[in-house]
Amino acid sequence: MKEIHSDTPGFQKIKGALGGNRLVLVSNRGPYTHEKSRRGIICERTVGGLVSALDPVMQSCGGVWVAWGSGNADFVVTDSQNRVRVPCEDTRYTLKRIRLSEREISRYYYGFSNRVLWPIFHLFPEKVCLKTEYWNSYQKVNEKFAKGVLEETKPNDLIWVQDYHLSLVPRLVRDENKDAKIAFFWHIPWPHWDTFSNLPWREEILNGLLSSDIIGFHTESYVKNFLECVKKGLDIPVDNGIINLPDRQIRVKAVPIGVDCEQFTQLSRSVILRAARLHRRLHTKYIILGVDRLDYTKGIMNKLMAFERFLEKYPEFHEKVVLVQTATPTRTKVEEYREMKKEIDETVGRINGRFQRIGWVPIRYFYRTISQDRLLTYYKAADVALITPLIDGMNLVAKEYIATKDNGGVLILSEFAGAAEELNEAILVNPHDTDAVADAIKNALEMSSEEKKQRFDVLKEKTREHDVYWWLERFFTEWRKTYEKSV
């Protein structure tokens, strides 16, 4: 894991933007879990874009992170206030854990968060399962989180709530502390009013969020959709990205998240040899890479069908190309996710059975979370990254791929990923158009070195410029403006 140097210019800028205030970060999943093992209790950092982005900031700036304690030894290591200092080997900030019952996990997390909000906000109405008991539990768990936040907050602390699991927290905190400084970042898409309005609890969700001082989204179109929902759903005036309430204003801003580009570039140097060996090990000239959580929004099935079409249409690439697809297990207790896994397993088996030859397997599929080293090796080795979500708030994998490569590499990116608004030098595709994606793969493999370099250089520059430090600094600066104006 990266060593944190809190005096680097990136962190100094962030500290400046925080203005010396302490951060109270609130998210559903925590940055570390404690699990029982035969060797005793082990502390592990959790995988995911949010944790990679925010753990270094907390390590550098200190503060409190409030999150669900989901590890089986999480409450063995905490004090009477459910707090533990982290990271375990070199403690730098406090993690406050919220204890949830099995029923709450089932109804608030698997139920309301993942079977109501996630499908509605990702435009999958057929997957929505509306149940009042899910909503009731969502409210209760948001209350638990708000209580945890209030216990930890001191005057002048900045409370930063993350994502759709906790949309009611700003209001619940504000009700108890009207002077609280609260920000919210929404990591998934925000749909049009026509979709959002189907949600029976739409007013409660909007009102929950509107107790924040600033609300951030990844793209301008999500901002536009959100503001329209506020206007239509609550009949509140909106002016140039500002929501005007009788007693205060709320700023709504597009601030796209980035990755630690410099760190990816540096770390990737240690995997150069391994990346070269991977081509030999897979007996292939070209590697195409997919890295996704196993979620229906990520379009893994569509990707497999497009790769199959590519193999059908362009037999000259047989024995020259391998698709390496990793899928992180996620939400495995939800029936739909289990069915999707089965369908993907069968499709990979069918395509491989149809095309493979001695010494060449066209799809290498790994259903597991992989180590950072392995991930870097794949990024480094891949000639093409094939990232084709059906819809995605941002998609950090696209940025991580570009950040890791330093010698070109082609990005095929779904036009429905938030990242496509920025990274438009990628080959943009409609993931539902199987033939177009198949052709994009061919074009990527045959692209001239000049065109590759031209596109790559711009993508790299954008990824470097709008990195995770830029995201944080920009967001904190906008947040502070809120208070400067109201003084």
Name the residues that contact ligand ADQ, by CB under 6 A: 47-50, 52, 187-188, 257, 291-293, 326, 328, 369-370, 375, 392-397, 400
The C-alpha atoms of residue 162 and residue 165 are separated, in whole angstroms, by 8
Residue 206 CB, nearest distance to ligand ADQ (Å)?
21
Burial class (CB in 10 A: 0-12, 13-18, 19+), 327: buried
Of the two residues 172 and 322, which places its CB atom closer to ligand ADQ in the complex? 322
Preceding peptide of 87 cis, ω within 30°: yes
How far apart are the C-alpha atoms of 280 and 310, rounded to whole Å? 22
The three-state secondary structure class of 465 is helix
Q: Which is nearer to ligand ADQ, 37 or 371 (CB)?
A: 371
Q: Whole-number minimum distance, CB 258 to ligand ADQ, in Å?
A: 10
CB of 361 to ligand ADQ, least distance (A): 19
Structure letter (DSSP) for residue 417: B
Choice between 311 and 397, CB closer to ligand ADQ: 397
Q: Which residue, 288 or 445, is less far from ligand ADQ as judged by CB?
A: 288
**Sole residue written with tokens 């979500």:** 389
Closer to ligand ADQ by Cβ: residue 260 or 383: 260
Residue 353 Rama label (left phi>0; alpha psi -120 to 50; beta): alpha
- Minimum distance from residue 284 beta carbon to ligand ADQ (Å): 20
Asked whether 189 and 391 are in contact (CB, 8 A), the reply is: yes
Shortest distance (Å) from residue 52 CB to ligand ADQ: 6
Nearest distance from C-beta of residue 257 to ligand ADQ, angstroms: 5
Is 174 or 303 the residue whose CB approaches ligand ADQ more closely? 303
Q: CB nearer to ligand ADQ: give 61 or 417.
A: 417
User: Closer CB to ligand ADQ, residue 188 or residue 311?
Assistant: 188
Q: How far is the CB of 292 from ligand ADQ (least distance, A)?
A: 6
CB atoms within 10 A of CB 269: 11
Q: Residue 48 or residue 408: which is nearer to ligand ADQ going by CB?
A: 48
Q: Which is nearer to ligand ADQ, 119 or 174 (CB)?
A: 119
Indicate the residue among 211 and 325 with the shorter CB distance to ligand ADQ: 325
Distance in Å, CB of 175 to ligand ADQ, minimum: 28
Tokens 């602390």 correspond to 157
Note the maximum CA span of the chain: 72
Q: CA-to-CA distance for 109 and 107, rounded, in angstroms?
A: 6
Indicate the helix (H) or strand (E) that contains 346.
helix 335-355
Helical residues (DSSP H) of 155-246, grouped into ranges: 169-176, 193-196, 202-209, 220-234
Looking at residue 32, its amino acid is: Y
Task: Tell which phi-psi region holds residue 98, choosing left (phi > 0), alpha (psi between -120 and 50) or beta.
Answer: beta
- Least Å distance, CB 394 to ligand ADQ, is 3
- In the bound complex, what is the minimum distance in angstroms from residue 398's beta carbon to ligand ADQ? 8
3-class DSSP state of 414: strand
The Cα 115–Cα 131 span in angstroms is 10
Phi, psi of 271 (to 5 degrees): -115, 15
Give the per-residue SS3 of 405-426.
CCCCCEEEEECCEHHHHCCCCC
Residue in 304, 292, 296, 293 with CA at minimum distance from that of residue 125: 296
Report how far residue 232's alpha carbon sits from residue 25's, in angstroms, rounded to the nearest whole number.
Answer: 30
| Extended strands (E) in 187-285 | 214-217, 238-239, 242-244, 249-254
Q: How far is the CB of 45 from ligand ADQ (least distance, A)?
A: 11
